[in-house]
Amino acid sequence: MPLFSDPPNKLDPRVTRTRKMLREALMALLEEKAYERITVADIADRATVNRKTFYLHYETKDHLLQSVTDGILDELFGEAKAAQPTDLSIDEMQSYIAERTFAYVKKHRTFFEVMFERKAMTDFVQYMKRYFARFYEEKFANIDESRLSVQKDVIASYIGSAYVGVIHGWLNDGMRQSPEEMTRQMILLNLQGPIQTVKNSQ
């Protein structure tokens, strides 16, 4: 579960608005300078609130970053859960998720670059892997595990690790390939596996 998600109960609209302003302020500042150089005062100034208001909503700058992180990943996986048709096959589902994932990472490129470079949340890689794994564990919930040669949680963890590793490499490579091309390659890897993909080329 997210470490610092806002409470699920309905918040006062003013609270919601202030937290949104603070999250957007941090995201804007990440476009301009390294996370370690950003101060609470910077965030408060950008959000046009005072520091006391900041501390009414978030304990620290890291707490705010965690909230931003949860918001980004919840949007990626939450909307996929809500929007995805229930009658998709496994192949259709993974195509749907791959396409959405790479487009979303490109949309929030600065955020993911900052997080993967470990300038902020040091366990982000593991954190994102857990989001992927939980998503797939839920999707596999109705599959009879006794008919599988590999445990469902192992499959989900493998897929999650593969996605995060590929995304990280894509970012490090300057995102030279389009989200569509990355989606195509990820679908092939998911369908065939890396070893079989290499074998098929020989």
Residue 200 in domain: no
Band of residue 140 on the pLDDT scale cut at 50, 70, 90? confident
Write down the pTM of the prediction.
0.76
Band of residue 103 on the pLDDT scale cut at 50, 70, 90? very high
Average pLDDT, the chain: 83
Contacts of 186 (CB under 8 A, 6+ apart): 98, 101, 102, 162, 163, 166
**Same domain, residue pair 116 and 166:** yes
Residue 198 in domain: no
Domain that holds residue 116: 62-193
Rounded-to-integer distance, Cα 85 and Cα 89, Å: 10
CATH number at residue 52: 1.10.10.60
Q: Given the structure tokens 């006062």, which residue do they identify?
A: 12
Rounded-to-integer distance, Cα 74 and Cα 132, Å: 11
pLDDT in tens, 167-189: 999 999 999 999 999 999 998 88
pLDDT in tens, 51-89: 999 999 999 999 999 898 888 888 887 755 554 545 556
**Same domain, residue pair 107 and 177:** yes
Residue 125 in domain: yes
Residue 101 in domain: yes
